[in-house]
Structure 1
Amino acid sequence: MDAATVVGILVVALGAALMATGALRQGRAVRPLHPARARVAAERARFRVLLRAAGMAIASARDAAGHGEPAIVTVEDVMRLAADHFGHVEVSRDHAAAALRHQYERAACAADCVTDAYG
């Protein structure tokens, strides 16, 4: 056997092993094994959900505001959307306010929005 044939066989064997591993795991994502890493990952996921809820609250407030009126976005709107749309019932007001402040600054809302997230 020459070197090219051996490399080809190794590549095929490695591919078959990866496919068998994927079939056994059935596409499940690997969870962090260490509890601290799992907690950090859950906190990041919760903050991403709060950012989405804050973005939705800003968008709905802008849609509801009349021409020339400021859009009023409250922390309670973010908390309500997080509970209704994403199932996060227990969200602290501080975390929701931080997410709203982040989205408020990202979306340049100072020109046409009013919020209680800074109070």
Structure 2
Amino acid sequence: MEKNTGKFMKELWTLLLSAGKNESGVPQQFLDAKEEETRKKQAEVDRIAIEIQKKKEKEEESRELERERIKKMDDEVERKANNAMEPASKHMLPKGSIGHAEDEKETGTRNGARGRKG
């Protein structure tokens, strides 16, 4: 301690003079250091807030892309279902049509049924 006494006293005296000049009684060097620390903390808080906001936006974008993908898949399934129904309905004959009655006659003949004359 003895070899650093001069340096210590000089720093102490500088701080005391600075504190005497300030209304608050706190050395300006301490006030500046505290202000810088506060600025750094605020910058870190801001950085974290921005990072969180970016993650939220990215998650929302991912959700939106997923919704669009699902909608496209649903639309495609519906389109395929509609296309599958169309060809079958074009080839079907309504009940009571000539083709249907002929099928019944053939079925009756094949089963051994005989028509009655009357």
- The interval holding the TM-score normalised by the smaller chain is under 0.3
Q: Which has the higher strand share?
A: 1
Q: Which has the higher helix share?
A: 2
Bigger CA radius of gyration: 2
* Higher RCO (CA 8 Å, separation ≥ 6 residues): 1
